[in-house]
Structure 1
């Protein structure tokens, strides 16, 4: 009997030791979540598996952390271990406590400052010390990814998007895979693709597209050039962006754009069809919106779209403050729905616009798709809500529209405002004389009359790509693209504008794998704070008493079994 017991003990110990040895050598985890949040996409796995360089992850979310950040560190660790399992020796991971990087307090401060110089952004938390006093502490929810030649700072928290630490952590974990893959691309891409912003038609100055430009510069080379300069380097650029032009396009410039497209170029246009002097509304109640003739209607028709000289009003819109106080009384600013700033949605018919956050527009026009000059496929990307109205320019724009809103005012629905056009395209100048003479064209330039592959996106609002600019003292500061100057009354952060821009550029440049990662949905399941506070005592008692009750029941059951067993033998 005793030998049998010893044998069972030896077998059990051997099994436990074997499991521990195997688990220490091989790392594996099983994802049983509904949204597969812990499973790497096939794109990521393939990308990491084919790494040639060694990527080092220096993680600074480490050390003495609050409970919510400990969970974040644990999930970050599991994610990086999964990368390590796939990338093997090409993935190296190291954790650092940002408060203990030196041998003394001074060295710690200097090391912490260097991390911020490298691009990592500290996050400030408040906690109580032993005396009960609240003190501020800085942690770094980020890491530095590097190779032997380059490094990329990765800040897991998005700037100003979520309101509290829990929301930031959920969002950070949801975009972790995208951030890491983007970082790997930045480190391993030898030759970046080239993007040009045209500048000679009154397009937005750099300060008003600064956030868009800096975001795109993470993966692409960005130039600001004139249209004649595009002609001189017509094969250099993978994408041309036209952002809110204000001056007419000459025939020569249309010809250059046409020939750029004939060479399989890609085009992204944010174009206004109506001119509205919105700043004047600060002083008068109404202004006249007039059609904006940029002399490109023929080119747009040929490319398969028409941006109509209209203004779209939408019941789903941003808010602005309006002073409702009578004359001579102190100001009384109240939020009102500003129907001229529709919040449009992405359609589910294309990768670019699937699961896209709402996009804020300003005086947007309606857009139609046409047959165009070739075998072109058109896909609507952005559209209004089901409660919209189209006003034909010229038209009065102002606060008087608020008086006309009735239940039946919004008679249009799902009005298109952005479209993707792709496919085969013939040149606009196939049956036209070219406006540039041979002497004006570069040496060995050939006029091409057809292309088999063109990609273009048209947006009927130049402000979708425009960031706000604020003045602080003598400094002029470009705000993030998601920032809305009337946030105090609107309470919304419009991240969809940048998402749409990045998705559009990634698609036009052939980097579609990033789009699926960026738009990946992870369900946010946060605790109900009111319910937690209300039921806190009940669940504390339940978790304390339940193990005791179970232990008592099991113990009583064992006693009864043993009593019956020995009673049987006794008899």
Structure 2
């Protein structure tokens, strides 16, 4: 009877359900209900992959039975990749547990390390015992026979716990994958000129940085020596490059060379300047126990002043500094070396967001001037609150390490934070405006097009160490075993200068992952076991007593 009365309503409901299911095959959408919108891809990420018309494969090696902290990273990686695959069906994701491929773990570690996928060793504490687990937090993207390795776990010099490392890594995931997509997809790589001829850093000391850039860009050494013979041709050739890098010049620029660089910037050329204003060197310090810091004149002062900044001939000392290794007669020990500031990047710009502390060596400081009203000036890296400046010339000795660090000593570090690296953006004015030109150009420009300059007051930022003559990774200190953020900072600087899509802004995305407190779990384990086992029984007993009491009272 009821069925006959409601047959029309039931039929309408069935038709509605069928219609919704059929419509869902043609209309597809996803909803991100997280507070920080961690699964909502940025416009830059979308524009990178939405036009891929060929198969692109992603092999994720963070698979299998993982420690709890890495299960979170695995889940976040999987959910992010689902967003990419939902946007483009040509993206195929495979999850591979490397440990199932072989029983020889040492052989596996060696093979994976050859491809740059060094495993992470994780300490696991369970029931008062500590064991070590090997995890491979890596992914590999393959497209048209081009491959790119993607690190899923981001190392941080200041981070102590695995939980914190995982949190930082989750925040970095979207940029890591989007940047890797861009690398394997783009065919029209931009051109970078590595300027030589003014005593710049030898190629073996800049090898790792230039080698890293060559994977994404076309990097070519470019000399300004020909400016004396063919100045116009030299400028025309330089203008073909999208970025010019000047790494630790030690010889002064002639006015002709300076004019070529100036007009390159006036034509919208981007430039990265890593400039030492002092002659002090760590190599001399270790060999002779002392080094002499003298002002270095590169004949660039007027050009930098016109662009809106000045590099001062003073050494910056910082209480927060990197360590050096010294032998005290019995063994090697680590000592803080105040002439090597260790800069903790902030989060106010995508170039420095979420990177390791950056190591400086005998750095000077930078003044950002009021000159250049059309220029936006952004300090990127600066020293800590405990800073001092030392005038040049200055004889620097390793004996300074023996100085007692007390309140009187610390009171000398009373300068405000000193700018050590900065970004300048806008329309620059030519250094040679209203001046006699070194030579006649076909077209001189006084007021330039939009350009970008990043300047750092230390040429050693780009210098990698050598081991038996072989270059090591930039930022790695073979003496202390620490890896600093120099390489990541310089890579981000180049990416920002050349990035037309705004992909680097993805680094500013804030992701907050709630995590369990492992130490608290261990210390309060027994309490919560009792609560979960005893309290339900007590509640059940109370309910039974009350129920029987009410029942007896009602029916007696």
Q: Report the TM-score range of the alignment, normalised by the length of the smaller protein.
A: 0.7 to 0.9
Residue 78 of structure 1: CA displacement? 1.7
Instruction: Give the structure 2 partner of residue 421 of structure 1.
Output: 424
CA contact (8 A) 2:156 2:356 kept: no
Q: Secondary structure at the match of 1:274?
A: coil
Conserved? CA contact 1:347–1:380, under 8 Å: no
Equivalent runs, 1:172-211 vs 2, <5 Å = 172-211=169-208
The 10-residue stretch of structure 1 (362-371 or 263-272) with the greater mean CA deviation from structure 2: 362-371
Aligned pair partner of 1:542 in 494, 516, 531:
531
1:477 aligns with 2:470: yes
Q: Between 118-127 and 144-153, report the one with greater CA deviation.
A: 118-127
| 1:233 match | 237
How far, CA to CA, are the matches of 2:542 and 2:136 in structure 1?
A: 48
Mind listing any 5+ residue stretches in structure 2 that lack a counterpart?
A: 227-233
Q: 1:441 aligns to what? A: none
* CA deviation map 1:462-489 (0-9, x unaligned): 1122222233xxxx3333333234436x
> Residues 31, 547 of structure 1: CA spacing in aligned structure 2 closer, same or farther, 3 A cutoff?
farther
Asked if the contact 1:98/1:139 (under 8 Å) is kept, the reply is: no
Q: Which residue of 2 aligns with 1:340?
A: 339
1:343–1:384 CA contact under 8 A, matched in 2: yes
Separation (CA, whole Å) in 2 of partners of 1:143 and 1:467: 26
Asked whether the equivalents of residues 98 and 112 of structure 1 are also in contact (C-alpha less than 8 Å), the reply is no
Count residues in correspondence: 528
CA RMSD of aligned residues (A): 4.3
- Provide the C-alpha distance between the structure 1 equivalents of 2:374 and 2:123, rounded to a whole number of angstroms: 60
Name the CA shift for 1:543/1:204 in 2 (closer, same or farther; >3 Å): farther
Query: Match for 1:250 among 251, 254, 260?
Result: 254
**2: distance between equivalents of 1:558 and 1:228?**
98
Question: Is the CA contact (8 Å cut-off) linking 2:359 and 2:484 kept in structure 1?
Answer: yes
Residue 230 of structure 2: aligned partner: none
Does 2:61 match 1:60?
yes
- Structure-2 change in CA distance of 1:524 and 1:301 (3 Å): same
1:236 is displaced (CA, Å) by 1.8
Could you say which residue in structure 1 is the equivalent of 2:323?
A: 319
> Which one of the candidate residues 216, 219, 227 is aligned to 1:222?
219
Q: 2:82 maps to what in 1?
A: 81
Q: Distance in 1 between matches of 2:67 and 2:297?
A: 58
**Aligned equivalents of 1:493 and 1:518: distance in 2?**
20
C-alpha distance in structure 1 between counterparts of 2:400 and 2:110, whole Å: 53
Q: Any conservation in 1 of the 2:323–2:335 contact (CA below 8 Å)?
A: yes
In 2, are the aligned partners of 1:352 and 1:507 still within 8 Å (CA)?
yes
Residue of structure 2 in register with 1:262 after alignment: 266
User: For residues 338 and 238 of structure 1, do their structure 2 counterparts lie closer, same or farther at Cα, with a shift above 3 Å needed?
Assistant: same
| Corresponding residue SS for 2:396 | strand
User: How far 1:206 sits from its partner (Å)?
Assistant: 2.7
Choose the corresponding residue for 1:461, options 453, 458, 461.
458
C-alpha separation in 2, matches of 1:400 and 1:361: 20
Within a 5 Å distance, the mapping from 1:113-152 to structure 2 comes to 120-123=117-120, 140-152=136-148
Determine whether 1:494 maps to 2:484.
yes
Match of 2:438 among 435, 438, 447: 435
Could you tell me which runs of 5 or more consecutive residues in structure 1 were left unpaired when the two chains were aligned: 439-444
Using the alignment, how far apart are the partners of 1:223 and 1:137 within structure 2?
Answer: 43
C-alpha distance in 2, partners of 1:233/1:420?
25
- Mean Cα displacement is larger for which, 71-80 or 255-264? 71-80
Q: Is the Cα contact below 8 Å between 1:60 and 1:141 reproduced in 2?
A: yes
SS in 1 for 2:204: helix
Moved more, 501-510 or 394-403: 394-403
Q: Deviations over 1:427-480 (max 9, x none)?
A: 333434443478xxxxxx544443121211211111122222233xxxx33333
Shift of 1:99: 4.7
**Paired residues of 1:420 and 1:457 also in contact (CA < 8 A):** yes
Local SS of the residue matching 1:72:
helix
Hey, what's the Cα distance between the residues in 2 that align with 1:159 and 1:380?
Answer: 25
2:520 to 528, 531, 539: 531
The 1-side partners of 2:235 and 2:45 are apart by 38
Cα distance between partner residues in 2 of 1:28 and 1:560: 53
DSSP 3-state at the match of 2:384? coil
Instruction: Tell me which of 151, 157, 165 is aligned to 1:155.
Output: 151
- Give yes or no for contact 2:282–2:361 (8 Å, CA) kept in 1: no
- The answer on 1:409 being equivalent to 2:412 is yes
After TM superposition, give the deviation of residue 232 of structure 1 in Å.
5.3
Q: How far apart are the structure 2 equivalents of 1:181 and 1:312? A: 38
Structure 1 residue 534, shift from structure 2 partner: 2.4
Matches of 1:278 and 1:114, distance apart in 2: 36
Q: Equivalent residue of 1:456, what SS?
A: strand
* Aligned residue number for residue 94 of structure 2: 94
**TM-score of the aligned structures, taking structure 1 as reference length:** 0.78
Shift of 1:197: 1.3
Pairing 1:377–2:380 present: no
Kindly tell me: are residues 470 and 512 of structure 1, through their superposed partners in 2, closer, same or farther at Cα, counting changes over 3 Å? Answer: farther
What secondary structure sits across from 1:254 in the alignment? helix
